[in-house]
Amino acid sequence: MQSKKILHVLAVASVLTLASSSIPAYATDANSLDEPVKFEKTIETPVNTTAKLTFIDPSLKNQHSTRGDVHEEYKYSYYVVQNWSIVQYDAKPVDNQKQYLSIAKGGAKTTTVERSNSTTVSITGEADFNKIKVINLSITGNYTGTWSYKETVTESFAGPDPGYNSRNYYTGTGYDKSAWTLKKYDVYNVYNGNINTGTQEYYVGNTTVNSVYKPKIVLYSRDSNY
């Protein structure tokens, strides 16, 4: 009996490996080994690569330079996103798992459902809040990193496989680990004598933030006997 149980566990684990790389997402549930998981799809939310964050750099505050009648005074700095890329898919377990539909044995139907989830962007190993803010702004549209997704769709849903009483459909929040390269600029007011003639912008350089966990919606179903 013990050997059969082990074979059952290995078989289910193989299905999970083929269906999705997010094995840790489902292994956290004690029932996952007895109830096969069917990975449906992931939904990515768009990234705003033109996000810009303006801030005052304390190390440059009150800085100025003079060349003859022309002098410059520090005004502000800003970060923009140069590029970003995913370095590890499904880097953290799926959380915030919510059931949104259940189909009984022998059933199948087309229906309208609402799917939603929310979380906060996680950025580890970075102490510069201005870098964190511009990345949050790029991913979520706000500085705090509060992320949410909601959709209403009409789809066809199947019932469970033979041997199970119901198929339950879920949303969850998955996380891909990403790396971001930011560009920093410093902006100075330019004066000719006492007349402000405009601003001068200086490119400072690039900086990289490596551990940004970008959220996404994960859709999956699980057959069960309850």
Closest listed residue to residue 42, CA positions, set 149, 166, 168: 149
Share of the chain above pLDDT 70, in %: 85
Q: pTM of the full predicted structure?
A: 0.81
Residues 201-204: contacts with CB under 8 Å, at least 24 apart: 204/77
Size (the chain), residues:
226
> Which tens digits make up the pLDDT trace of 126-165?
889 999 999 999 999 999 999 999 999 999 999 999 999 9
Q: Is 128 strand, coil or helix?
A: coil
> Which tens digits make up the pLDDT trace of 80-114?
999 999 999 999 999 999 999 999 998 899 999 99
Predicted pLDDT of residue 21 = 38
Distance CA 53, CA 129 (A): 11
Assess whether pLDDT exceeds 50 at residue 26: no
Quote the tokens at residue 13: 């684990």
Dihedral pair phi/psi, residue 146, rounded to 5°: -70, 120
Predicted pLDDT of residue 35 = 67
How far, in Å, are 145, 183, 204 from residue 79 at the CA level? 16, 6, 10
